């Protein structure tokens, strides 16, 4: 009887190990094989397919399939992930005759219902999207058209610094003009879809100084360290 009990207990351990291994295998499918991870959080990952740098996808651990965030003629940089949210800087690199291109900051919620057709790559709608245009021709560029540093909170709140882009061709690289001011911008999770708040403006704002710690963002404007709550 004692031997039988030991054998049964041993079988339970083996069975439990198999279940654990199966769960781990499911988690390893996010991101899928043959992909390159560009951002990760405890909830999932953002990635690109090998050989396809035009499409940015993301997945949640345990989800049935990944979600397309952006692709086509768009180029995505500054990808950040916190919880189930992904933030990205996106610019239209279509090379169209129009001398203007859009530079945006978008936030995606991976818990949102994906597009209906699983066989067609429809991009997921962002929960926040703020786009401004830079023009190299006779058209007028919008002010503060280049987003730089981006920080993202696990509830989807986002903050970033915008500056005036130097005149560069399609595809960049895009750089901030040193003779023009910069803006610090935030979007709280409770804000309306595309509402944002300008926290600071100044030519001495350091574009790479933006930090997020315990729900508070900090940045440098000249010799001053400034801060605000990101909710």
25, part of any domain: no
pLDDT digits (tens, 9 = 90+) for 52-93: 766 899 999 988 788 989 876 566 778 999 999 999 988 765
pLDDT digits (tens, 9 = 90+) for 4-18: 333 333 444 344 444
Distance between CA atoms of 197 and 199, rounded to whole angstroms?
Answer: 6
Range of the domain at 141: 30-229
**Is it the case that residue 159 has pLDDT exceeding 70?**
yes
pLDDT of the residue at 10: 42
C-alpha dihedral, 16 to 17 to 18 to 21, nearest 10°: 130
40, part of any domain: yes
Classify residue 154 as exposed, middle or buried by CB count within 10 Å of its CB (0-12, 13-18, 19+). Answer: middle
74, part of any domain: yes
22, part of any domain: no
pLDDT of the residue at 71: 72
80, part of any domain: yes
17, part of any domain: no
Distance between CA atoms of 88 and 81, rounded to whole angstroms?
Answer: 9
| Global pTM value | 0.80
Q: Looking at the 3D structure of the chain, how many domains does it have? A: 1
220, part of any domain: yes
128, part of any domain: yes
């Amino acid at each position: 009887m004692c031997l039988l009990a030991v054998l049964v207990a041993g079988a339970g351990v083996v069975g439990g190990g198999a279940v654990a291994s199966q769960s781990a295998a499911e988690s390893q499918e996010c991101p899928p094989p043959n992909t390159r991870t560009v951002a990760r959080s405890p909830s999932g990952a953002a990635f690109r397919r090998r050989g396809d740098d035009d499409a940015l996808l993301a997945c949640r651990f345990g989800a049935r399939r990944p979600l397309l965030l952006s692709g086509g003629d768009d180029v995505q940089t500054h990808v950040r992930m916190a919880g189930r949210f992904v933030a990205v800087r996106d610019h239209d690199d279509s090379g169209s005759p129009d001398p203007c291109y859009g530079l945006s900051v978008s936030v995606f919620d991976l818990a949102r219902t994906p597009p209906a057709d699983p066989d067609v790559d429809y991009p997921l709608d962002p929960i926040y999207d703020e786009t401004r245009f830079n023009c190299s021709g006779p058209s007028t560029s919008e002010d503060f058209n280049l987003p730089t540093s981006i920080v993202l909170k696990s509830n989807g709140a986002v903050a970033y610094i915008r500056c005036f882009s130097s005149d560069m061709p399609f595809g960049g690289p895009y750089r901030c003009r040193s003779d023009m001011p910069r803006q610090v911008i935030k979007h709280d999770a409770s804000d309306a879809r595309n509402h944002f708040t300008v926290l600071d403006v100044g030519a001495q704002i350091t574009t790479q100084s933006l930090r997020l710690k315990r729900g508070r963002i900090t940045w440098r404007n000249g010799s001053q360290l400034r801060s605000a709550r990101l909710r």
